[in-house]
Each structure stands twice: as structure tokens, then as C-alpha cells.
């Protein structure tokens, strides 16, 4: 059933426009683009009411939706309320550029595809979003909607997208200002309904011509006629000669002046908030004005009945809102009559929300009221949940709304501003704010916090040696001044947590510099420290250690550390947080180095997505370079990060360059004589062989090959030998001693034909899809697969749906049969679990 979204009592039916919306519902997208007060929302409400066969999720945008995390949660909750099948969506990751993120869009597409029945997503007042990022993601969603899902977007301004594809392929339905303009008959019906009497035909025609059929102007004219009780319609019509805004101002004056004083005061008071409830109305207006109508709830209901621009909020019982245009006019009048009244009323509303336990809304209200000290007190009182739930961008937005000179007078607030900027992926700005505050001179405890978070910026910024220096300075300060008192700052300013964060920052800096031994020592100290038991920090630390050990070739240890990190993340609801990114990448490296690239691609993508989500560019570079080194097909279409690579990534990419040249038949001369086995030593020998210098290569290999095989056997390192090419594999096969199990495994894996199905499928399966394809014949359900891979159920569903599409099948059993037929899976007799079919 659709949401309860009643049209106002005076609204006239528009059957022609409703039929156009019916036609539009057969395609992915419909647009309603018209100025404020044109009747977009009323038309949508009438259409929804006429289509009880549709499930409608209606989203009315508010300024708070500029926060992607806030809107993503509302989007998921709204769909979940429609049907349980839509409730199982992945927690939003967020996106560095401020959008919803690829992961959430994929999950939405899968959930909507599986939903049985027609569903419509209405996005009302898109113009209220200040940036383009969320809107861009909504267009991406529209392009991928299944046939039974439809999106309607209304906006005061044209979003400026290219609609040619939708126009050509889907006969895009567009309803604009000229379509919504009321004709003479419709104008007469509206005026008669609102004025309570028949308005003369000449006056109707004059009003319609002056307003050009603009619904809000006609509605205001009707109210003026009602409350003035005999106002000259001709004189009223003449007032429409000015612009729309002047019309609104004029008619609002007319309507407001005609209202009883109590009702007029109530409207002005209520206008200061975006949404209203009965108790909030009572808090704003006080008892005097409400006693006559029986309280706040009855007042709001009467305003709806009287068409005074108050309407119920879609799908929320007991909640109401003004039409935006009228709300703005009322606020303008309130400010004109009393410059301080709005601030006082906003303070009352904030007090009510604080009493209700909703400090987030209270903060927004206090910021609008310019009650800076009260707002800062509430902001500084926020706890760790801001960090753990990924709401740092909201915190940064609040603090940026405080005038800089006022914020800087409170060094705790300015320090928190720097910290929140860093947590919300604005590392460069965060570091600038922190260093500027340090130059001004701050308390030693605040200095410790600032330097710790500067050290942590090594994840986001190039030149790790700079951040290593800050980490060392933090530890020296803590050792020299055990009596330092630090500000709480969301509960993350405790010395034990700061020490851990400094150790992790320093360890990561050393890792990015390629100094693995020192990095290992720092990260192990961090893991063993008291602050290292805090789940987000522990997931970060274990993941960093895992990635270090994976790249160093210690695969068993890396696998154990990564699994510990991901298990903890799963237990503490942090899998969608950026913290597990390192652990995912570590699992990918382990899988590929063991000669199982199809088992590493899915987790590599998960790791890269989390690292990119909050712009951890140093880690992104390492992940990208490692992906190229181990030849993950996921890196083929992915551009290199647009930033300076850290030294470790530069070395890895140099190795990749040598390898690509060798594989292209143009090997470089020997690079340098490496004293120990490494990726460079490997390329050195491979280049000699490729250039035909077998004797030199053999001599060099005598120093390294048996040692390499011993290391490989200990850790299961198959991939390196496979990438060496036929010459190295021939040497491995030709060693005089009898081959052990590891050597046999390397040689067997080298002989194994590709299972990618090139030439058999129009669009080959990716490594991620090959990994999941191997699980399809098993009894594992999607939930069990998600748990095994440490990803969301919808991530599994997304990749499985891609497999079905590429194989040209509809279900799991058919996919297995087709894969066996194509040779992508061996023949199997294992029956599918009943719930997995």
C-alpha cells in the first residue's frame, strides 16, 4: 500500500497528468521540474492515492540529507519499511566524494531486483541537496533499476543532466511548469473551495492570467478572499503584476493580516522548525494560543483542514510540515517583526529535543539560533559513537558552521574540528587546522592530541617520514610528561588511546617506507597496548600487521592476523567501517600468492572500496600496487590513484614495470645485484633468462632458488614461481633431488588450464565471480557465504546476480549446470542446500 500522503482539501483532480505519470511508471525515471508552489507534491500525492497497486517509498529531502550517511540510512530504512525483502541491505560505507557509494547502489539494485511487485521511489525537492554527489548516485541507480521499479524525481530546478538516453530508450516523461499551470476551470474550483463561495468568472480569469496558473498564487488569492470576506477580486488580481516573490509577500501579508491574532502568532512561531509534532508545537507556542483549539496536535490538524499550508509528513504519523515557500515567508515576517524572536524560539525547540534525547537535532537548531556556546557544549559532549558510526562528516559540518573566530577561542572545539576533518577524509585541511592551532600555542594536553592525529594522517598523505617524526614526538612527550591532562574529545583523547594511535601511525609510516622490521615492532607494540584493545583500533592494527606480513611473504601469520581482524570487525559491527581495509587486502595477497587468484579478488575489492571510501590514499596506493604485482584482474580497468605514491608502492610499481617489459619481450638489463631474495631479485633473474643469459641466470639462481623454495614451502607461496615463466619452472622441475609436495603443487598449478571461459562467454567472469561460482554447488547459503568472506549478504547477492546474467540463467541450479557444461566447474554430485536454490 502507498504511504499516506493526502492532498489538501482544495486540490483539484488532474486526470490528464495522472495518466502521464501512469505512462512514466513503465520506464525507469519520471521528472517533475517546476518552481515552488506549482503543485508538484500535490500531483504526486493524488497519483499515489490513485495507484493502491504500487508500493511507494517517498523521500522528501531536507538540508540534513546533505550528509550522505544520514540520507543513506533513511533510504535503507524507508525501503525496509515497504517489505522485509528490502530490509536486508548492507550498512552504507559512505563515499569519499560525498555520495552514497558503489556498494550501497549495488545492494539497492539487488534488493529491488529480488522484490516481487511494482515499487516506486519518489524523491521530492531534490534541489534542497547542496552538492551533486548524492544526486549523481541517484541517476546511476535510475540507470540500473529493474523493470518493476521506477523512480520519480521532483525539483524546483532542472538538475542539468543529459536525458537523451532516457528520452530515446524509455520515452522519458517530463512534467514541467507549463504542464502544471491551472486552467480557468481548475482555478475556479480552487478559489471556490478555499474562499467558501463562488468567485465571479471575470475575477477567476483575471487571477489565472496574472498568476499564469501558478497554484500557490491562486491558493493565496483564495485565502485572501476568505479572510477578507468581500475583498475586491479585481483589486486582488491587479496585485499579481509583480514577480512571484512579491506575489507571495503581498498575499502573505493579506492572509496573515486577516487571521485572528492567536492563529497568526502560532503560525509565525511554528515556522522556525522544519517538522512539527503536537508536543513540539506546544513547546514553541506556549499554552495561551493553544488552549482555544485543544493543544498542539489539534492546532496542526486544524491548520491542515483550513489549508494554511501545513501538510502531514509522508509516512510519519503525527508529524507535519509547512510548504517550504510559505515557511520561508513566515520566517521572513517573524524576523521583520522581532529580530530576536526566531533565536528565542529555536532555543525553545532545542530544549525540547534535548529533553527528548535528540541532541543532533538540537545542535542544528542552536547553530541556526547562533547560540554558539550552547551548540559547542553539546558538540563537545558527543561520544565515540560519532567515530564508530562514521558520522565524523556531520561533526565537521556542525563545527564549520560556528564562526572561525568563536571556534578558535575554544581550543578544544578547534582541536575537535581538526580531528573531525581528518576522520571525514579531509586530511589536508585537518592538518592545516591542527598546525595553525599549534602555531598559536595551546595547552600541552591539546598539543598531544593534535600531534597524535597529525601522525595518524600518514594513511591519507604522502611523505610518511614526516608523520613518523610526529609519532616519535608524541611518544617522547608521553614518556616525559606522564602528568599530562588531555581533553576528552569524543572519548578518543584518553592517553592510552593516544599512545596506541601514535604507535599505529608510526608503524604505518615505517611500513609505507618499506622498513618492515621496524614497522612490525611498532605495530606489535600497538596491538599489545591497553588502547590496542579498543575494537576499531585493534581491527586497524591487526589488519596493518597482516598486510605487512602478507607482502613480506609470511602468509600463515598474515592469514591468522587478517582473520582475527575481520572476526573482531564482524563481532563489533565494524565490517562496513573503513577499519578492516588492510585486513581485506592482506587476505587478497595471501590468496593470490598461494596461486588462488580467484579467491583473492572479492576481498581485494572490499579492501580497496573501504580504503577509497575515506580517501586513505597511502593504503590505496599500496593496495593498487600489490594488485598489479599479483596480477589481479580487478586492477585492469582501475586507474592509478591521483596522488603521490608512498615509497613502498613506488618500489612495487617499479617491479611491475620490469615484469611488464619482460613479458612484452623487451626485458631490461639486470637491475642490480640483490643480496637477498626479493621481488627485484626475481625480476633480475627473469630478465637474464628472457635475454638468453642462461648461465648468468643459473648462477644467480644457485644463490636464491633453494632458499626461495624453502620459503615458498613454509608459506605456500605458489604465485611467485608461476609468474616466473617457463624458464624458471623448468629449473624448478629440473632440480636433481626428488620433488616434495610443494614443488609438485607448483608444477601441477602451472599445468592447470585457465578456467576463465574465454571464448565461451560473451562477458568473462571476473576473479571475484569465479570465487563465488566455485561455492555455488555447495550447501552454503548466501548468509553463510557472506560470513565466510566477511562481506555483506548483498555483496554476495550482487556478484551472484552478475554470474547469472553472464551465464544466461535464472537460478543457482541452472548456473551450476551451465558452468559445468562450459567447463568452468568440474562435474559435481553435491546437492544444493534447499534454501540456496
Q: What is the reported pLDDT for 240? A: 44
CA distance readout (Å), 571 to 196, 491, 536, 576, 610: 63, 21, 11, 12, 18
Give per-residue pLDDT as tens, 528-583. Answer: 999 999 999 999 999 999 999 998 888 899 999 999 999 999 998 888 788 899 99
Task: Point out which residues pair with 58 in neighbouring strands.
Answer: 122
* Greatest distance between any 2 Cα atoms in the chain: 112
Q: 701 with 685: CB under 8 angstroms?
A: yes
**15-180 matches 261-370 in fold:** no
**Alpha carbon distance 44, 32 (integer Å):** 9
CA quadruple 814, 820, 824, 826: dihedral sign: positive
**Alpha carbon distance 623, 628 (integer Å):** 9
Phi, psi angle pair for 340, to nearest 5°: -100, -5
CATH 3.40.50.720 fits 767-836, yes or no: no
Q: What is the reported pLDDT for 100? A: 76
Phi-psi region of 668 (alpha: psi -120 to 50; beta: other; left: phi over 0): beta
Q: Find, among 291, 30, 7, the residue nearest to 167 by Cα.
A: 30
Give per-residue pLDDT as tens, 216-275. Answer: 778 877 777 776 555 455 555 444 443 345 455 655 665 676 677 778 888 889 999 988
User: For residue 334, what is its C-alpha cell?
Assistant: 517573524
Residue with the three cell numbers 612490525 = 520
Q: What is the reported pLDDT for 17? A: 94
Phi-psi region of 160 (alpha: psi -120 to 50; beta: other; left: phi over 0): left
Q: How far apart are the first and last CA of the chain?
A: 30
CATH class of 15-180: alpha beta
User: For residue 466, what is its C-alpha cell?
Assistant: 614526516
User: For residue 530, what is its C-alpha cell?
Assistant: 591497553
What number of other Cβ atoms are within 10 A of residue 810's Cβ?
A: 10
Phi-psi region of 823 (alpha: psi -120 to 50; beta: other; left: phi over 0): left
**Alpha carbon distance 505, 456 (integer Å):** 5
Q: What is the reported pLDDT for 366? A: 96
To the question of pTM greater than 0.85 for the whole model, the response is no
What number of other Cβ atoms are within 10 A of residue 52's Cβ?
A: 10
The CATH fold assigned to 261-370 is Arc Repressor Mutant, subunit A (1.10.10)
Residue with the three cell numbers 587476505 = 587
Q: 303 with 290: CB under 8 angstroms?
A: no
Domain range list for the chain: 15-180, 184-258, 261-370, 371-512, 667-751, 767-836
Q: What is the reported pLDDT for 363? A: 94
Q: What is the reported pLDDT for 531? A: 92
HSE toward the beta carbon, residue 242, CA cutoff 13 A? 10
**Alpha carbon distance 464, 503 (integer Å):** 14
Q: What is the reported pLDDT for 95? A: 44
User: For residue 219, what is its C-alpha cell?
Assistant: 491558493
Low-confidence ranges of the chain (pLDDT < 50): 1-4, 91-97, 231, 237-244, 246, 755-758, 829-837
CA quadruple 603, 605, 610, 612: dihedral sign: positive
Amino acid at each position: 500500500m502507498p504511504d499516506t500522503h493526502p492532498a489538501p482539501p482544495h486540490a483539484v483532480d488532474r486526470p490528464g497528468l495522472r495518466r502521464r505519470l501512469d505512462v512514466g511508471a513503465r520506464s525507469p525515471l519520471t521528472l517533475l521540474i517546476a518552481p515552488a508552489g506549482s503543485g508538484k507534491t500535490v500531483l504526486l500525492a493524488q497519483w499515489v492515492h490513485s495507484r493502491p497497486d504500487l508500493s511507494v517509498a517517498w523521500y522528501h529531502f531536507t538540508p540534513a540529507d546533505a550528509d550522505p550517511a544520514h540520507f543513506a540510512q533513511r533510504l535503507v530504512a524507508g525501503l525496509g519499511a515497504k517489505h522485509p525483502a528490502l530490509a536486508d541491505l548492507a550498512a552504507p560505507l559512505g563515499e569519499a566524494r560525498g555520495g552514497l557509494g558503489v556498494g550501497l547502489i549495488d545492494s539497492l539494485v539487488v534488493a529491488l531486483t529480488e522484490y516481487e511487485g511494482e515499487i516506486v521511489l519518489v524523491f521530492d525537492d531534490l534541489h534542497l541537496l547542496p552538492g551533486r554527489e548524492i544526486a549523481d548516485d541517484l541517476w546511476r541507480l535510475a540507470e540500473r533499476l529493474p523493470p518493476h521499479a521506477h523512480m520519480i524525481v521532483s525539483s524546483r530546478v532542472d538538475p542539468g543532466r543529459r536525458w537523451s538516453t532516457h528520452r530515446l530508450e524509455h520515452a522519458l516523461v517530463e512534467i514541467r511548469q507549463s504542464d502544471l499551470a491551472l486552467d480557468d476551470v481548475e482555478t475556479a474550483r480552487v478559489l471556490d473551495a478555499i474562499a467558501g463561495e463562488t468567485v465571479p468568472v471575470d475575477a477567476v480569469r483575471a487571477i489565472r492570467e496574472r498568476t499564469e496558473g501558478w497554484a500557490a498564487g491562486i491558493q493565496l488569492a483564495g485565502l485572501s478572499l476568505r479572510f477578507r470576506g468581500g475583498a475586491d477580486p479585481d483589486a486582488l488580481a491587479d496585485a499579481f503584476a509583480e514577480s512571484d516573490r512579491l506575489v507571495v509577500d503581498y498575499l502573505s501579508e493579506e492572509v496573515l493580516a486577516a487571521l485572528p491574532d492567536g492563529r497568526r502568532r502560532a503560525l509565525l512561531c511554528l515556522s522556525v522548525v522544519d517538522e512539527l509534532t503536537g508536543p513540539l508545537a506546544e513547546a514553541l507556542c506556549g499554552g495561551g494560543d493553544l488552549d482555544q483549539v485543544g493543544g498542539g496536535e489539534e492546532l496542526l490538524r486544524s491548520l491542515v483542514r483550513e489549508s494554511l499550508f501545513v501538510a502531514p509528513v509522508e509516512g510519519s504519523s503525527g508529524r507535519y510540515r509547512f510548504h517550504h515557500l510559505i515557511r520561508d515567508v513566515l520566517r521572513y515576517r517573524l524576523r521583520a517583526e522581532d529580530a530576536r524572536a526566531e533565536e528565542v524560539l529555536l532555543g525553545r525547540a532545542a530544549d525540547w529535543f534535548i529533553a527528548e534525547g535528540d541532541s543532533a537535532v538540537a545542535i542544528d537548531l542552536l547553530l541556526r539560533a547562533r547560540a554558539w556556546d550552547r551548540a559547542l557544549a553539546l558538540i563537545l559532549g558527543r561520544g565515540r559513537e560519532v567515530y564508530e558510526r562514521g558520522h565524523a562528516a556531520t561533526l565537521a559540518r556542525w563545527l564549520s558552521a560556528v564562526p572561525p573566530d568563536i571556534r578558535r577561542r575554544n581550543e578544544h572545539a578547534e582541536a575537535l574540528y581538526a580531528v573531525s576533518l581528518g576522520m571525514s577524509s579531509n586530511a589536508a585541511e585537518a592538518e592545516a587546522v591542527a598546525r595553525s592551532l599549534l602555531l598559536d600555542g595551546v595547552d600541552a594536553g591539546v598539543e598531544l592530541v593534535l600531534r597524535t592525529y597529525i601522525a595518524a594522517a600518514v594513511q591519507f598523505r604522502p611523505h610518511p617520514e614526516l608523520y613518523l617524526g610526529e609519532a616519535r614526538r608524541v611518544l617522547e612527550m608521553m614518556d616525559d610528561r606522564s602528568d599530562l591532562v588531555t581533553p576528552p574529545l569524543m572519548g578518543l583523547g584518553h592517553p592510552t588511546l593516544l599512545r596506541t594511535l601514535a604507535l599505529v601511525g608510526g608503524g604505518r609510516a615505517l611500513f609505507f617506507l618499506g622498513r618492515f622490521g621496524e614497522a612490525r615492532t611498532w605495530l606489535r607494540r600497538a596491538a599489545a597496548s591497553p588502547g590496542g584493545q579498543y575494537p576499531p583500533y585493534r581491527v586497524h592494527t591487526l589488519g596493518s600487521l597482516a598486510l605487512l606480513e602478507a607482502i613480506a611473504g609470511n602468509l600463515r601469520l598474515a592469514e591468522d592476523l587478517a582473520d582475527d581482524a575481520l572476526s573482531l570487525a564482524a563481532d563489533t559491527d565494524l565490517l562496513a567501517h573503513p577499519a578492516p581495509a588492510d585486513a581485506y587486502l592482506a587476505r587478497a595477497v595471501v590468496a593470490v600468492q598461494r596461486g588462488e587468484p580467484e579467491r583473492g579478488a572479492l576481498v581485494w575489492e572490499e579492501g580497496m572500496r573501504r580504503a577509497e571510501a575515506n580517501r586513505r590514499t597511502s593504503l590505496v596506493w599500496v593496495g593498487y600496487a600489490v594488485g598489479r604485482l599479483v596480477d589481479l584482474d580487478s586492477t585492469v580497468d582501475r586507474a592509478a590513484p591521483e596522488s603521490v605514491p608512498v615509497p613502498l608502492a613506488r618500489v612495487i610499481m617499479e617491479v611491475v614495470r620490469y615484469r611488464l617489459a619482460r613479458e612484452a619481450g623487451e626485458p631490461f638489463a639486470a637491475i642490480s645485484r640483490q643480496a637477498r631474495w626479493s621481488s627485484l631479485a626475481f625480476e633480475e633473474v627473469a630478465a637474464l633468462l628472457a635475454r638468453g643469459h642462461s648461465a648468468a641466470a643459473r648462477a644467480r639462481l644457485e644463490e636464491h632458488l633453494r632458499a626461495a623454495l624453502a620459503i615458498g614451502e613454509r608459506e605456500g607461496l605458489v604465485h611467485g614461481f608461476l609468474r616466473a615463466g617457463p624458464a624458471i619452472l623448468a629449473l624448478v622441475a629440473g632440480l636433481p633431488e626428488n620433488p616434495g609436495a610443494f614443488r609438485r603443487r607448483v608444477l601441477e598449478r602451472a599445468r592447470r588450464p585457465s578456467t576463465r571461459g574465454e571464448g565461451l562467454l560473451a562477458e568473462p567472469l571476473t576473479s571475484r565471480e569465479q570465487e563465488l561460482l566455485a561455492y555455488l554447488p555447495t550447501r552454503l547459503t548466501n548468509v553463510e557465504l557472506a560470513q565466510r568472506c566477511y562481506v555483506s549478504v548483498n555483496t554476495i547477492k550482487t556478484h551472484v546476480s552478475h554470474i547469472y546474467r553472464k551465464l544466461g540463467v535464472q537460478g543457482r541450479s541452472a548456473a551450476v549446470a551451465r558452468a559445468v557444461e562450459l567447463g568452468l566447474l568440474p562435474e559435481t554430485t553435491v546437492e544444493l542446500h534447499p534454501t540456496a536454490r
